[in-house]
Amino acid sequence: MDFVIGSLNLNHMLRISLLLATFLIVIGCGQTEEQTITRKTVLNELGKKEVLKRLKSPSTAVFHDSLTTVTRMRRNGEPSNHWRVRISVDAQNSFGAMLRKRYMIIYEETGKDSISEASYKLHEFFD
C-alpha cells in the first residue's frame, strides 16, 4: 500500500531524499579533498617548471603524474616548512634518445598562502 501526499507517493519522496543526501555528502567531501590537492598541484607545477629549465629538449618532455609525489618533510619529528617533490619525466637527451629520469626538488614554504607559487622558494634540486 502506497501512501500518497499530494501528487507524490512516499516511495518517490524517499528516493528523492536519498538522492539529495548523497549529493550533499559528495559535495561536502570534495571541499576537503580540493584543499589538499591544491597545495600538491601548485608544488607539482613548480617542480615541472624547474625540471623543464634543466632538460636538453624540454619540448619532448612527458611527465608521469602517477609517479609524482609531494611530501611534507619533518625535522626532529615535527612537520617543517619544507616540501619534497619527486617527479618522473621522459625526455630526449642530447643524442635524441628518450630517457626516463626522476628528480627530487625541495621547496621551502615562505608565505602563508599555500596555493600561491610565490609562497614557495626553491631550496635544493637533485637529479
Other C-beta atoms lying within 10 Å of the C-beta of residue 112: 7
What is the model's pTM?
0.69
Cα(61)–Cα(111) distance, integer angstroms? 30
- Taken as a whole, the chain contains a residue count of 127
Rounded to whole angstroms, the Cα distance separating 116 from 98 reads 33
Grid coordinates belonging to 33: 579533498
Alpha helices in 1-127 (DSSP H): 10-54
Gap between the Cα atoms of 38 and 44, Å rounded: 10
The predicted-structure confidence for 22-71, as pLDDT tens digits, reads as follows 766 655 554 444 455 578 999 999 999 999 999 999 999 999 999 999 99
